Amino acid sequence: MTEDTAQPTCDRIFIRDLAIRCVIGVEEYERREKQEVLVQIMLDVDLGRAGRTDELTDSVDYSSLKRQILQATENSRFRLIEALAQCIADECLKQSKIERVRVAVEKPCALRFARTVGVEIVRHR
């Protein structure tokens, strides 16, 4: 395969089981106190340069991204987990190196007899 026809690299950074405490839900009792939701984040990023230079500036600072997500969500008062997922995706895409993001938000114990319920969205530039 020549360089001209090579497929773009699909590198990923992931954050698994990020616990966020926020007010979430449509029922009155859900809006009284913060609840914990679990978030899975998959970032599509070209990591080739970072792999060669070993420099954080050539990658995504996922510690900083985590703080940015927590700041945007922990005092939020979303009714739907869909809106929370969109907020998280929007925060991720503020970083120019991130081309695509997959966000899954799970709300444990939201349904009786189910361990969790959730949504998964994919957003890109």
- Return the active site residues: 107
- Of 63, 99, 69, 74, nearest to 86 by C-alpha is 69
Q: Is residue 99 a contact partner of residue 110, using CB atoms and an 8 Å limit? A: no
Rounded Cα distance between 37 and 33, Å, is 13
Q: Is residue 81 a contact partner of residue 30, using CB atoms and an 8 Å limit? A: no
| Separation in Å, CA 30 to CA 1, 48, 93 | 56, 44, 29
Amino acid at 81: I
Q: Is residue 10 a contact partner of residue 76, using CB atoms and an 8 Å limit? A: no
